[in-house]
Structure 1
């Protein structure tokens, strides 16, 4: 769709509210088809970690599987310790991984290691530090214990059939460990989407190159590849393309056929040299928008004829980063089937005030103190090109369109990107 008043990009059109734009973006998303990966196959681990579950997973067996010892010590019948100190006969040892189930009679015990199955005839464990005088065949128990002391009950963590993880949850290291412990052998997941980054701009040069008047170092490829990596979504392809309509068209066609999503920076404004917007005008399912947002108002979004979703962001690095955080990241997470595509909005106390443009959502890069208070990382009057200060940013303060002045002590919404 070419820019027009319905898309929010035509002359005189009212800017599109960011929330409305995000809803439209998420409506474009069709979650990736799930694949089955094995927990037992080492080659599948890289794809499993960070993937998103496509179905609920229940425990195949109780957790723990059996009653076992929570400590190194001695498995006892609690009644035998009531008159402690008392000497008990040691029948042997039960290490972790043993299937032995020695029978304890009155006055008898076995040494037991942490995690080892508790003998069926025992009902408690005496910690090794509560014993003394060990001799071959006997041990002195110095402390009386009650039944159940230092015993992990079968199923006390999860009963067989109880849910362990739900569809839409990401597979973190801890969640993968829990699923393996609960008996899962294979998981139906949605893997990370295949993402391309396409940076445009005639003025851009490789970092470290000698610069002529009007030229600047190209940093958006590092920015977007880094933002993707920090979101657990590595970029499969990163390219730079000159501001040539034919070349841009060629690269969009190729990348769109080989990837699930293409993210571009630069050339989305209304000017005669804004090549990305001009090329995307020929895409019937892509629309240009002007958002009620600062920074990052001009953007293009939609689905390429080649198949991939396309997110065309402004060339200014801070504007591109804001567009990524507010719209692209949620869409990519929805593509992977995340139950919660958006980052949670937190509240923060303002340490140093600033002005905000009325009628627009302001996404101001901020830093946080040790108590969670926030202060601007950049000059609020020139956010989009304040790359130097942006390097220290830990998140964004989100200031609504009805606020023009933010004062110290105010409480504001924030997105926290770093701890």
Structure 2
């Protein structure tokens, strides 16, 4: 049976996926969240004409020609305005952010004023009308659109929302991704490792990748090669409300590859198994009630490459995050042999050259080698049946960040 093409596999995984419902969070907890709906200003900013500088609130008519002497009749500070009115030949000491008093129409900055005796100042330079005044509503006005639906919230946008009078924000729920590793050979980092065992790494890497797209992680731990134990772990993920279950390993065709059958026994509807890509051929996808199940290969590199291609866009769509693979054109710095019927994702180092990007494939592409993947910032994408490529040929690269 022909293997499923990568693009069709992604279409099936994303088919029918919609953003999760919204929830309200305190603005102090909104960093990295996504706005579930557009936000409008709940107030006007600034709410009054405010001084942009320290100095004196004056009438422009009084300082058209200088030097000019003025009587200082009071002070306006942020949070404590001057309640009188500025008349001819008068000034009010004012500080940045303070309300401009009635009657004043410009700000004489303090560098251009000289103190005199008896509470008077001398204006040293003329000032045009409206100078150094921030008009009410300069930033935004009540009811004005502030932030669009789907905006990823960060420092500036959270500051804007707070200034707009919002103590809580409507955000899209964060997807819950359950991660299940299986295998008698696996131990956690730091645990005693028997002569036939290896340290589990996939779960930590996959969790980090999913968190980077806004997910919460439910770590189901390492489950031994026991069909009943695997089925029980799968049902724990479902009962916990996981939106995505990621299984790691155990989905191939060996006698001890029990994950696929355990998932079927738990009620999963299998969509596909095995796709036309390298590394990552034994990828599995199905649905268990409302939970989507993504079965990743056990080899660390295969697992992470598949997670970049399939898990990241799935989590991003559930969380209403924009996701576009960063595909670019580059020039090969080394030859590549002809490709077979599978799409190849070749680990590579990409750097800027005088005429664009230069892609250097690593000579050893074994799917167990995390050192190579950690040194890679891109994958060279080779289509099925691609002819051999010489040094200097153009290629397509997927940047990993």
CA pair 108-370 structure 1, distance change in 2 beyond 3 A: farther
CA contact (8 A) 2:74 2:82 kept: no
Distance in 1 (CA, whole Å) between partners of 2:358 and 2:195 is 37
Q: What are the within-5 Å matches in structure 2 for residues 215-294 of structure 1?
A: 215-258=197-240, 259-282=242-265, 283-294=267-278
CA pair 123-288 structure 1, distance change in 2 beyond 3 A: same
What runs of 5+ residues in structure 1 fail to find an aligned partner?
Answer: 1-11, 40-44
Match of 2:113 among 105, 108, 131: 131
Secondary structure of 2:250's counterpart equals coil
| 1:168 Cα deviation after fit | 2.0
| 1:36 Cα deviation after fit | 2.9
1:320 aligns with 2:303: yes
- Using the size of structure 1 for normalisation, the TM-score is 0.82
Q: What are the within-5 Å matches in structure 2 for residues 105-184 of structure 1?
A: 105-133=87-115, 137-184=119-166
Secondary structure of 1:405's counterpart equals coil
1:16 aligns with 2:4: yes
Task: State the partner residue of 1:9.
Answer: none
CA pair 95-211 structure 1, distance change in 2 beyond 3 A: same
Secondary structure of 2:283's counterpart equals strand
1:32 aligns with 2:20: yes
Aligned length: 395
CA pair 101-351 structure 1, distance change in 2 beyond 3 A: farther
| 1:219 Cα deviation after fit | 0.9
Task: State the partner residue of 2:284.
Answer: 300
CA pair 160-242 structure 1, distance change in 2 beyond 3 A: same
| 1:396 Cα deviation after fit | 4.0
Task: State the partner residue of 1:331.
Answer: 314
Distance in 1 (CA, whole Å) between partners of 2:382 and 2:55 is 59
| 1:135 Cα deviation after fit | 5.6
What runs of 5+ residues in structure 2 fail to find an aligned partner?
Answer: none
Task: State the partner residue of 2:398.
Answer: 414
**Cα-Cα RMSD:** 3.0
| 1:253 Cα deviation after fit | 0.8
| 1:240 Cα deviation after fit | 1.0
CA contact (8 A) 1:346 1:416 kept: no
Task: State the partner residue of 1:59.
Answer: 41
CA contact (8 A) 2:345 2:382 kept: yes
Secondary structure of 2:246's counterpart equals strand
Distance in 1 (CA, whole Å) between partners of 2:122 and 2:387 is 74
Secondary structure of 1:60's counterpart equals coil
| 1:413 Cα deviation after fit | 4.2
Match of 1:201 among 183, 188, 191: 183
- Using the size of structure 2 for normalisation, the TM-score is 0.86
| 1:249 Cα deviation after fit | 0.8
Which structure is larger by alpha-carbon Rg, 1 or 2?
2
CA pair 31-132 structure 1, distance change in 2 beyond 3 A: same
